[in-house]
Amino acid sequence: MKATAVGMPLAALVAALLAAGCGGPASEHAHHPPAPSGQSAVSSPPVVSPASPAASTPSGAFNGTDVGWMQLMIPMDEQLLSMLEMAPKRTSNPEVIQLAKLFAADHRAELLKLRALMDRSGAPKTNVHEGHDMPGMVTAADLGVIDQTKGAAFDRLFAKNMREHLEQGILLCRGEQGAGADQATRELAGNIEKARAAQLDRLDG
- What residue ranges do the domains of the chain occupy? 10-49+62-204
Evaluate whether 48 touches 108 at the Cβ level (below 8 Å).
no
Distant-in-sequence, close-in-space partners of 172: CB < 8 Å, separation ≥ 6: 14, 17, 18, 21, 69, 72, 73, 136, 189
Give dist(CA 97, CA 117) in Å, integer. Answer: 30
CA 119 to chain centre: 19
pLDDT over threshold 50, residue 75: yes
Q: Where are the beta strands (DSSP E) in 89-183?
A: none
Class of domain 10-49+62-204: mainly alpha
pLDDT over threshold 80, residue 86: yes
pTM of the model: 0.75
Q: How confident is the model at residue 82 (pLDDT cuts 50, 70, 90)?
A: very high
pLDDT over threshold 50, residue 26: no
Give dist(CA 39, CA 34) in Å, integer. Answer: 9
pLDDT over threshold 60, residue 74: yes
Give dist(CA 129, CA 47) in Å, integer. Answer: 20
